[in-house]
A and B are shown apart, each in its own frame.
Chain A
Amino acid sequence: MSHVNKVVIEPVTRVEGHGKVTILLDEQKKVTQARLHIVEFRGFERFVQGRPFWEMPVVVQRLCGICPVSHHLAAAKAMDIVVGADKLTPTAEKMRRLMHYGQIYQSHVLHFFHLVSPDLLFGFDSDVATRNIIGVAVKFPELAVQGVMMRKFGQEVIKATAGKKIHGTGAIPGGINKNLSISERDELLKEIDQQITWSRGAVKIARDYTVEHLTELTAFGSFDSNHLSLIRADGAMDLYHGNLRAIDANGNKIFDQVDYQKYIDFIAEEVRDWSYMKFPFIKSLGPERGWYRVGPLARVNTADFIDTPEAEAARKEFAAVTKGKPNNITMAYHWARMIEVLHAIEKIRDLLNDPDLQGNDLVVTGERREQGVGLIEAPRGTLFHHYRVDKNDQVVMANLIVSTTNNNEPMNRAVERVAKDHLSGVEITEGLLNHIEVAIRAYDPCISCATHALGQMPLEVKLIDHRGNLLDQRST
């Protein structure tokens, strides 16, 4: 009979939500497996049943207070299909895009400056008492202010398009409920140059950090994987809309330009008894080989190019590190994320200068359908919303595959890799704890969304021996 020891980290800190890590050891105290447990449960898919379909974009965004806009827009896109709005008016589509770029911008900035920068600026092993946003504010006050001001700008973009900074109502089935007034536009334009400058600076911080530490980061929590994202018809990165593209670790296409209304033919989900979070995989490859990464790293990998000049230049530099092949370095997520920040602010600038945003043609409808699928590239990755609606306009089925769920297996792999490399003996050291957290944090997981939670996400680690006895326990 083989015996297994177990290390548990609970709770995980500086991520959105609540989870714990268990590390299983064999008799020789070697790591056999690591699991990121998602211990929250929310049940949105069930309790929206019976509600009228037009409520979905507003009710489902309550899954999250970090990137509600993503859920708002994914649900609205699904409902566009339901109401037969196959092509939105330019004003509606561009207002939604502006909302989404505002969302990408504020969420990425929050993650990078508030949650991650302490690890990068002070080092993973630095004193835990100062390795936090307060420490950053004391030592790098300008940077801390930039983070706050950049996030604020993103939130103002959201307010101008959705009506509120959090949980707005802008996107409605078939379009949008407002345009951008001249005064709203001008307020945002006043700040745009400063925001672009700061975004360039953020890319530089992430780039310099990654390049300087390339050797250790290449090994840190990394592994080869497939990558999945939406992609524009011409292969450009498109965070709001497109078709699905999946590539393998070498850049070979698994599928390309797949109409996401048919996602169910390409993606399946596996349930494991130790987590409330499912494990999605590419059907043709099966659960063992079909898991994939989503989010900034996957998107920069899948894109043939980025259609804004500064972000494209940054992408080229990023791609050069791996000689044009997909980048499979977990910690490269941060650099990719900041390239997207630059892309988002370039897009925001272009949209603010587009007179279509002052149009008054806001909503279209067509022939009613029984179901609709809405996908969007949320800050954390591809977000799937699928609804069926009955003839009385009531939702009878909802299936949500959120970004963090898509990254479930990769996060487990990252934790396993770090545990194998950094666990020695049966004691959970502060260093191990934080290394594991750093790896999870790279994915910017949003566990609230992923379990369709409340509270913050501190990390708890437990080490349990082969007889199931608790050897050590540590939380942050």
Chain B
Amino acid sequence: MSATIHFTIDGVEVTGKAGQTILQAASEAGIYIPRLCAHKDLTPHGSCRVCTVMVNGRPQAACTQPVSDGAIVENETAEIKELRRNLVEMLFVEGNHYCMFCEKSGNCELQALAYRLGIQAPRYPYFFPQRALDATHPDIFIDHNRCILCGRCVRASKELDGKNVFQFIGRGAHKRVGFNAPDGLGHTDAAVSDRFVSICPVGAILKKRVGYAIPVGQRLFDKRPIGSEIEARRAKGK
């Protein structure tokens, strides 16, 4: 069953397949919808809400909302952009995100999204939470200060690595990513070759002793803004 579905994003005609999400169809069509928790290899999670679009006038997470015939999707309106800016700013103040010395800087999706959304400095007060580090694994370093609870690691460990290294624990403001071993990641079956290591969008999960090996200027988002690889498809298609 692969019925073709026609809808529009910001007035542009987009063709999707039944069962696809708006985010997937938009990406194939070369239209970038910002996202953090969504990843092409993972089941949609719908938690960060950064991919929120208006579908026939109602806000929906593009990563979980299926395409529907004749839908009118709004992606780049001033209202939605402001909503996304707010969401990303809240992520920044909720954790301890010190881009200036973070080794993920330049390769970080949160930072790149902030640049793309034109965030200069958060307008909300910083929480400065006290969060732990976990260096118990010989090859993987966990810095909870930078975790945005996107759940990519939780899903990647289950769905791609066939393990169950992470799980969310706690509720509300106390929610965090826990390990499947009380004494830390080093006591789980996590391996540095697991996909979860590279799938973290921020600097919360790092391969140890790599650090700043990629010079400034050659990092992923030094060269082009986040999303431009998706938008390049559209330019090519034209």
A189 at the interface (CB under 8 A from B): no
Question: In the complex, are the beta carbons of B101 and A62 less than 8 A apart?
Answer: yes
- Which one of A125-133, A163-171, A276-284, A409-417 is at the interface? A163-171
* A58 x B133 contact (CB < 8 A): no
CB pair A163 B141 closer than 8 Å: no
Q: Tell me if B233 is interfacial: C-beta within 8 Å of chain A.
A: no
Interface residues of B in 103-154 (CB under 8 A from A): 103, 133, 135-136, 141
Instruction: Describe B's contact surface by its main secondary structure.
Output: loop
On whether the beta carbons of B100 and A50 are closer than 8 Å, the reply is no
Closest to A161 in B: B215
The answer on a CB contact under 8 Å between B103 and A54 is yes
Does A164 contact B212, Cβ atoms closer than 8 Å? Answer: no
> Does more than half of chain A's interface fall in helix, strand or loop, or is it mixed?
loop
Residue A394, interface by CB 8 Å: yes
Given contact pairs A50-B133, A52-B135, A178-B215, A393 touches B209 in the complex (Cβ within 8 A)? yes
How many angstroms between the C-alpha atoms of A225 and B149 in the bound complex? 58
Partner of A392, one of B136, B210, B213: B136
Q: Which of B100, B136, B210 lies in contact with A167, CB distance below 8 A? A: B100
Q: Does B211 contact A (CB under 8 A)?
A: yes
Q: Determine whether B217 belongs to the interface, using a CB cutoff of 8 Å to chain A.
A: yes
Complex Cα spacing A162 to B141, Å: 25
What is the bound-complex CA distance between A51 and B98, given in angstroms?
Answer: 13
**Does A55 interact with chain B (Cβ within 8 Å)?**
yes
Closest CB-CB distance, B209 to chain A, in whole Å?
6
A173 touching B211 in the complex, CB below 8 Å, given contacts A58-B103, A62-B101, A163-B217: yes
Complex CA distance for A162 and B206, rounded to whole angstroms: 22
Known A-B contacts A54-B103, A167-B100; A393 and B213 likewise in contact (beta carbons under 8 Å): no
B169 CB within 8 Å of chain A = no
Interface presence of A172 (CB below 8 A)? yes
**A172 & B136 in contact (Cβ 8 Å cutoff):** no
Complex interface: chain A residues within 8 A of B208 (CB):
52, 54, 393
Given known A62-B100, A392-B135, contact A52–B141 (CB-CB < 8 A): yes
Contact of A58 among B101, B209, B218 (CB under 8 A): B101
Other than the known A52-B141, A172-B211, what 8 A-B pairs have Cβ atoms closer than 8 Å? A54-B210, A58-B101, A58-B103, A58-B211, A162-B216, A168-B216, A394-B133, A394-B135
Q: Can you report 11 residue pairs joining A to B where beta carbons are below 8 Å apart? A: A54-B103, A83-B209, A163-B217, A168-B216, A169-B215, A169-B216, A172-B211, A172-B213, A392-B136, A393-B135, A393-B141
CB-CB nearest 4 A-B residue pairs: A163-B216, A54-B211, A392-B135, A169-B212
